[in-house]
Amino acid sequence: MKISLLIFIFCELLLYFPHMEHFLDKKYPDLAGSREVYRAAKKARKRGEKPYKRDELIDSYIARLGTLFRDKRGFTHLKRLVADEYITKPEDIPEGYWALQEKIMEKQDRLSGWQNMSEEEKNKFKRENSKDVLSDQALSLERWVDFLASPDTDYISDDLKYWIFRSIVKMQEFDKETGEFGKHSKGTVKLFPEINKKALKFIVEAMLNKYAGKKPKFELDIQENEQRDFEKFLEKEDFAKLYAWAAVLYSPIPERLLKVTEGEWRKFDRGSDPNELVKTIHGKGTGWCTAGINKATAELDEGDFYVYYSKDDEGNATIPRITIRKGGNDIIEVCGIATKQNIDEFMEEVLTEKLDEFPEREKYRKKEQHLKELRRLAKKQKKGEEFTKDELVFVYEQKERTQYFGNEKDERIEELKKGRKNKIADYCVMYDCTPEQIATRPEEITENTIVYWGNLTQKDTNILNNRKNPITIDGNASFYGNTSFTSMPEGIVFNGNANFEGCSSLTAIPKGASFNRNAYFFNCTSLAEIPEETIFKENVSFYGCTSLREVPESVLKKEEGTITLPLHLKEKYSKFPNVRFV
């Protein structure tokens, strides 16, 4: 194996993760002493650098080749080198392969044609056939080179990219019968492994956690014995074994099948055999905890379970895409197979149609709207199109959090934010202001500041005390225990959590105030006034507010979140469903 070529492929600078100390040197003891690394170190010393330690020698070589890697012409040349080094030559294809082709022809009743061919015709057939199969093989490896060089893998350090690629060139496509990747031997016409982004990300995160002294974080559908197998392979840093493990348990739906929406819903009745449910979803890479028999049993004890299966290559509805779980008579969970169990973009209409059958579907309306908006804006951003003011407000979650179906935030939300190149310009559009009216540090806030992009703490009390002009705090604010906090300006907006616990001198919430996240007024013993137009988007607590006697009905009728009131108001406001008393 040519070490220089392998290093050449993966020599990007570390931008997102720290170097895994001595990882390559420990894994590949031959690397530091190779001729190519020696030459790189020699050139580095001529430039005044002094790489002498083994890991320094390796780093110097990677750094030297970094510029070439990012050069368009150099990268094209690199791909030719890769093909020349690792793709099977036609003359190396063993006779056994052609004997197999002869058997296939016999099965297809085409053998007589082969037998009647002259040697020249047979050689021509071999050349044409080998060109096709070896082109596919070359493409399967080229995909890896392109993928590992793309922004999609910026989260992978160059150490791990080298480890991945050095492993991949020794592997061939996955064998479902053995559950392993075969070894890529000389003369083989088999393809290199397919790219499984979900599995690869899990393996990379597990490696980083290992070097940080942490255990891998498994999806809920991974059983204990499967976890132990992974940890054993991780200890040995055996990529082929790890990737084979993931090929089974993180089996992705091929992209071509993701677009297939035709399929069927199946209902698993409450109290029915959980094995019938488990066997249809285990090992399908859903991430659903229901793929475990114990969890499936518990969930079917609670209520009915609905799964939508789209069609596979054979036209059978076998690919799980959506689950709707009921607890008693109510829907308590809706999950998909996208990251963090969110709904993938092709299943939106399928889900909408199904939810229309349930009486509680209205509470999912906003999630559906946000799901569709995320997909629309992701496409718009990819095209480089400008966002409108309302679209920016949605992306930056200025008025409300983006809602989602999965167990964690839809990753497209953060991807949209990361894709914004000029956040100050975006804020100017959202707030109709100039850059001078945006503050990013507390000390920059003036009476003319319209939006502050950051957090506030107890020491920043005077920024709001006696302030006249409204301001938006686009961050969290905590004035915990600050007894000198007395007032806020009218029209103030908190886009993050706002904590006023123990602010015993605060007597009133100002007119036009909006709390777009959670708000806590624990033990604000002087607080007595809440204006009618005050907006609380999420949870709000007035526990311990002993001076509070009236709460506007518009506040009590809020649709989302809960309101916590002191016990002395229970008799007065107990009829409101979102109110609890402490």
pLDDT mean for each 10 residues of the chain (582 residues): 46 42 80 75 74 73 60 73 86 81 58 66 78 80 87 84 90 81 87 86 92 85 86 94 86 80 96 92 75 80 94 93 90 85 90 92 88 92 93 92 82 88 93 95 94 94 92 95 94 96 96 95 96 93 96 87 93 91 92
- Per-residue tokens: 495: 């886009």
Q: Which of 125, 150, 172 is the last residue of a domain?
A: 172
With CA atoms as reference, report the closest residue to 222 among 279, 297, 288. 288
The span from the CA of 244 to the CA of 180, in Å, is: 5
CA 554 to chain centre: 38
User: Could you tell me if 20 and 129 lie in one domain?
Assistant: yes
CA 561 to chain centre: 27
**Which of 435-471 are b and which e, b meaning 16 or more Cβ less than 10 Å from the residue's Cβ?**
eebbbeeeeebeeebbbbbbebebebbebbbebeebb
With CA atoms as reference, report the closest residue to 341 among 289, 302, 279. 289
* DSSP three-state, residue 330: strand
User: Could you tell me if 453 and 386 lie in one domain?
Assistant: no
- Is residue 307 included in any domain, yes or no? no
* Residue 520: domain span: 432-582
User: Could you tell me if 414 and 453 lie in one domain?
Assistant: no
Cα distances from 329 to residues 271, 559, 573, in angstroms, run 14, 21, 28
User: Could you tell me if 88 and 132 lie in one domain?
Assistant: yes
User: Could you tell me if 512 and 409 lie in one domain?
Assistant: no
Cα distances from 81 to residues 161, 187, 368, in angstroms, run 18, 18, 48
User: Could you tell me if 553 and 405 lie in one domain?
Assistant: no
- Is residue 147 included in any domain, yes or no? yes
Q: What is the pLDDT of residue 187?
A: 87
Instruction: Cite the beta strand spans of 328-428 per DSSP E.
Output: 330-336
Q: Which of 146, 172, 198 is the last residue of a domain?
A: 172
CB atoms within 10 A of CB 264: 11
Q: What is the pLDDT of residue 291?
A: 72
Q: What is the pLDDT of residue 484?
A: 94
- Is residue 179 included in any domain, yes or no? no
- Is residue 341 included in any domain, yes or no? no
> Do residues 515 and 495 lie in contact, with contact meaning Cβ atoms separated by under 8 Å?
no
Q: What is the pLDDT of residue 167?
A: 94
- Is residue 16 included in any domain, yes or no? yes
Q: What is the pLDDT of residue 203?
A: 94
Q: Which of 403, 426, 449 is the last residue of a domain?
A: 426
Domains held by the chain: number: 3
- Per-residue tokens: 182: 């075969």
User: Could you tell me if 131 and 164 lie in one domain?
Assistant: yes
Cα distances from 555 to residues 20, 432, 502, 551, in angstroms, run 53, 29, 22, 7
- Is residue 555 included in any domain, yes or no? yes
- Is residue 275 included in any domain, yes or no? no
The span from the CA of 175 to the CA of 2, in Å, is: 27
Q: What is the pLDDT of residue 14?
A: 36
The span from the CA of 1 to the CA of 86, in Å, is: 9
The angle formed by the CA atoms of residues 39, 165 and 17, to the nearest 5 degrees, is 80
